């Protein structure tokens, strides 16, 4: 019998260094230094709790941040940045929700699913625009 998928936990007071893969849900109340990747379906979620910390990279369909994160973050479905969150780095998102009080230092980059369907406009050195289709 195969065990059921369960929540993975980095508990308060626990420190983890290295790359971490999970399938369903990962909750970080301690600290992680490395990359976190969801290898499951599009319902996988990473939760960085208030008091939790991550330095590195997060790749997951859903991400909820309430702690301190210094990372390149990619949320292919949804990212929630709570009021107690302190985020530094690049945040790539499809949908983004930021609560009042959250601190974000870095770059917010929307993931555009239709980017291949629209012409891209690029500026040349002389200030004119060059439009190309992909």
Whether 126 is covered by a domain: the verdict is no
DSSP state at residue 116: G
Whether 90 is covered by a domain: the verdict is yes
Average pLDDT over residues 15-29: 94
Whether 11 is covered by a domain: the verdict is yes
Q: What's phi and psi for 116, nearest 5 deg?
A: -80, -10
Count of domains observed in the chain: 1
Whether 28 is covered by a domain: the verdict is yes
Whether 97 is covered by a domain: the verdict is yes
Whether 128 is covered by a domain: the verdict is no
pTM for the predicted model, two decimal places: 0.80
- Residue 119: count of CB within 10 angstroms of its CB: 9
Whether 81 is covered by a domain: the verdict is yes
Mean pLDDT of the chain: 86
Residue range of the domain that includes 97: 7-113
**Segment 71-91, tens digit of pLDDT:** 999 999 999 999 999 999 999
Determine how β-strand 20-22 pairs with β-strand 25-28: unpaired
CB contact set of 86 (below 8 Å; sequence gap of 6+):
67, 68, 69, 102, 103
Question: From the centroid of its chain, how far is CA 51?
Answer: 18
Whether 124 is covered by a domain: the verdict is no
């Amino acid at each position: 019998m195969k065990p059921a998928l369960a929540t993975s936990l980095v508990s308060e007071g626990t420190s983890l260094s290295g790359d971490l893969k999970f399938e369903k849900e990962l909750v970080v109340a301690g600290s992680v230094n490395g990359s976190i990747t969801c290898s499951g379906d599009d319902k996988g979620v990473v939760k960085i709790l208030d008091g939790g910390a991550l330095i590195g990279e997060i790749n997951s369909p859903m991400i909820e941040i309430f702690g301190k994160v210094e990372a390149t973050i990619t949320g292919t479905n949804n990212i929630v940045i709570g009021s107690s969150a302190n985020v530094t780095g690049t945040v790539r998102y499809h949908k983004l929700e930021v609560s009042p009080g959250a601190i974000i230092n870095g770059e917010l980059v929307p993931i555009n699913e239709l980017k291949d369907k629209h012409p891209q406009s690029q500026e040349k050195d002389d200030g004119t625009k060059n439009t190309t289709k992909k």
